[in-house]
């Protein structure tokens, strides 16, 4: 069954990891797992200090070239009656590292992920303005939707 947008947003916000899909200027898709925080119809993703080859990340270059993005969270279980997914489609912009605009999003991320208390993200922050929440769950069982 399709999830109502409010239910999808709730499930999305309660999830611990999402996949961020971007598209390059020459139309190649790129997808990476991300940690995130939700504030209404905004999703924030920090570029943190986890090992990366460079801070010149493909996801940031793609957003600069094409601001349309999608985020996906899902729940898999061998009991297929527990399957669900939620997608957040929207537009993204990159907030410059160290700017005043990153202070509140980093605070939200720190409240969700204890790892960020000692290792505060120093990179840019991606802000996604969600224009559509969509999702699906295997069943409409009231227990599943509670």
What is the span of the domain harbouring residue 121? Answer: 5-145
> Does 1 have pLDDT greater than 90?
no
Q: How many domains does the chain have?
A: 1
Quote the CA–CA distance of 26 and 34 in Å, as a whole number: 23
Q: Tell me the pLDDT band of 42, cut-offs 50, 70 and 90.
A: very high
Average pLDDT, the chain: 91
> Does 35 have pLDDT greater than 90?
yes
Q: Are 29 and 23 in contact (CB under 8 A)?
A: yes
Q: Does the predicted model carry a pTM greater than 0.85?
A: yes
What pLDDT digit, counting tens, does each position of 87-96 carry? 999 999 999 9
CATH number, domain with residue 70: 2.30.110.10
């Amino acid at each position: 069954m399709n999830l109502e947008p409010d239910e999808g947003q709730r499930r999305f916000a309660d999830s611990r990891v999402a996949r961020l899909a971007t598209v390059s200027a020459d139309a190649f898709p790129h997808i990476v797992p991300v940690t995130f925080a939700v504030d209404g119809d905004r999703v924030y993703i920090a570029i943190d200090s986890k090992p990366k080859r460079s801070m010149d990340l493909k996801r940031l270059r793609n957003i600069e070239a094409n601001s349309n993005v999608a985020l996906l969270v899902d729940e898999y279980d061998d009991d297929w009656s527990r399957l669900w997914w939620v997608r957040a489609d929207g537009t993204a912009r990159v907030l410059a590292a160290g700017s005043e605009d990153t202070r509140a999003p980093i605070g939200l991320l720190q409240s969700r992920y204890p790892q960020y208390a000692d290792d505060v993200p120093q990179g840019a922050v991606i802000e996604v303005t969600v224009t559509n929440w969509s999702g699906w769950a295997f069943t409409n069982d009231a227990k599943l939707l509670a």
